Amino acid sequence: MQDVQLYQQILGLESPWKVSRVELDVDLEEIRVHVGHPRGMKFRCPECQVECRIHDHAEERRWRHLDSCQFKTFLVTRPPRVKCPEHGVKTILVPWAERGCRFTSLFERFALDVLLATQTVAGAMCLLQTSWDETWHFLERAVARGLERKEAKLLPRVGIDEKAFARGHTYITLLYDLDHSTVEAIPDGHDTDSAIACFSQLSREQIASIEAIAMDMSPAYVKAAKQTLPLAEQKIVHDRFHVMQLVTKAVDQIRRAEHRKLLLEDNPCLAKTKYLWLTNQENLSENQQVAMDRVFSLRLETGRAWGYKELLRDLWDHDDAGAATDYFKDWYRRVIHTKLTPLKKVARTIRERLDNVVSYCTHGVTNGVAEGLNSKIMSIKRRVGGFQNRENFKTAIKFYCGGLDLYPR
């Protein structure tokens, strides 16, 4: 019986388990490897680990194992039931699978590798020949396992950010560990309570270890940080990309208004220029640069606003907060004397929160560092199809971005 020896070898079964018979079912494309144990063995009670005599055997059970040459392969046995003096009659835990799982741990490890590589449940289920529910269950179990094992590491540099889900009708808040690019907490919503819920998942040591926290300028997150973190004012860093986004939006508002006004005078010179003003100067193509120079020479309000936007980008190049503050004040004085109302509005917003904008020069953190993480989360949203709800989306984020130890032992 060479097949018995072969499977005994490749399965690497622990003593006292032995392959007794190998069944090939060509119609079902299945191989069933029957395993058993010698008579008179003792097994451990699953509750207390005490070695006990066998009472009887449970019904036959099977576990899906790694395929053999494209044939679905199953381990089959009737697991012994022991009679524990303390816990009564109990079915033992087999060494090749976790409790309650219909797949061997080796198969489960492989399934996790496939899920990580394909990044889609649909893709993984095709390769694994498993159902959606089974495949999703691997992911869920892995997250549960990972969270159980997770140790509270220190978090000197964190970021807090919101993400829309379900076409912007629902939000979640994400707490990032910026040093490891992992997601540490995902409460629902995007208000003060959501942010407080993030921090409440951290231990006292973790809270104390936070030196800098990147966030947008939303009052909700600022309020939550001040309520939760000691000396929060010195730690908050408003995300530079978020600040620049506000400024860029103001430039766009100015362009739209000016374009409307010019069209009334039959002047289409700002038509199709939207992206010229949104792009950073060094990223313009040669053609775009030519187009930009042409419109810029017309001395329009849009051009001036764009110039101020480009100037402000240098704010974050300063080595210390004091120099950055001086630079901003100078910028502010110039902007505030213009008629560029949307830009003036943003300038005032920045001035109000200036200390926590220039604190970038001290801490150097931005949620843009988590940009890789961000695009990962967006691709999860797109690609791990079939999310029925927000909980599934959150589970997938924990699986792919949680930095968790996912594998069964």
Which residues would be at the binding site for Zn ion (CB under 5 A)? 45, 47-48, 84, 86-87
Minimum distance, C-beta of residue 49 to Zn ion, in the bound complex (Å): 7
269: burial class by Cβ within 10 Å (0-12, 13-18, 19+)? middle
Minimum distance, C-beta of residue 148 to Zn ion, in the bound complex (Å): 23
Distance CA 363, CA 360 (A): 5
Instruction: Compare residues 86 and 371 and give the one whose CB is closer to Zn ion.
Output: 86
Q: Count CA atoms within 13 Å of residue 336 on its CB side.
A: 11
Distance CA 195, CA 159 (A): 11
Distance CA 289, CA 379 (A): 32
Strand order in the sheet with 71-77: 18-25, 30-36, 71-77, 61-68
Q: Who's near 330: CB < 8 A, 6+ residues apart?
A: none
C-alpha pair distances (Å), 306 with each of 275, 295, 312, 397, 398:
12, 12, 10, 37, 40
User: What's the helix, strand, coil split of the chain in %, to 5?
Assistant: 50, 20, 30
Strand order in the sheet with 236-238: 182-185, 170-177, 157-165, 212-215, 236-238
Instruction: Compare residues 99 and 167 and give the one whose CB is closer to Zn ion.
Output: 99
Minimum distance, C-beta of residue 105 to Zn ion, in the bound complex (Å): 23
